[in-house]
């Protein structure tokens, strides 16, 4: 019996390490998916946290439109994709992380 109780305690410790997520975090994370950022930005204008991430996602979506141009477009597209992944993870964890070079442009979006 003591072994079972110890296993439960260890399992509980491991589960408690996982950060809690909310619908707000989920929507903020999904706003880094191309095109969803614009939809979420238009629908969730009242939530500052979601709007912060949706604006960054929209800037990254626009930057990925140059993906078709050789070399420079590929480099910009690759950097935008990596930034989308970082933004997704940070939003999912509930962190307001300003992406370098993107946050300044995103703050200029008037919505």
72-101: pLDDT as tens digits: 888 988 999 999 999 999 999 999 999 999
Cβ–Cβ < 8 Å for 36, 30 = yes
Residues 87-91: contacts with CB within 8 Å, 24+ apart? 87/32, 87/53, 87/56, 87/57, 87/60, 88/29, 88/32, 89/29, 91/25, 91/28, 91/29, 91/31, 91/32, 91/53
The tokens for 71 are 């070399």
pLDDT over 70 (residue 2): no
Q: Which has more pLDDT, 2 or 108?
A: 108
pLDDT digits (tens, 9 = 90+) for 27-45: 999 999 988 999 998 898 8
The tokens for 32 are 């880094």
Nearest to 53 by CA among 107, 9, 110, 2: 107
Q: What is the pTM of this model?
A: 0.76
The tokens for 18 are 């996982």
The tokens for 89 are 């993870």
Q: What is the mean pLDDT of residues 6-10?
A: 81
């Amino acid at each position: 019996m003591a072994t079972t109780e110890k296993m439960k305690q260890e399992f509980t410790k491991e589960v408690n390490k996982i950060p809690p997520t909310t619908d707000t975090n989920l929507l903020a994370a999904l706003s880094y998916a191309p095109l969803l950022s614009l939809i979420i930005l238009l629908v969730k204008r009242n939530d500052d946290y979601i709007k912060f991430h949706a604006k960054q996602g929209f800037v990254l979506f626009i930057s990925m439109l140059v993906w078709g141009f050789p070399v420079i477009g590929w480099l910009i597209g690759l950097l935008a994709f990596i930034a989308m992944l970082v933004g997704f993870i940070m939003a999912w964890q509930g962190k307001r992380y300003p992406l370098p070079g993107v946050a300044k442009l995103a703050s200029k979006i008037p919505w």
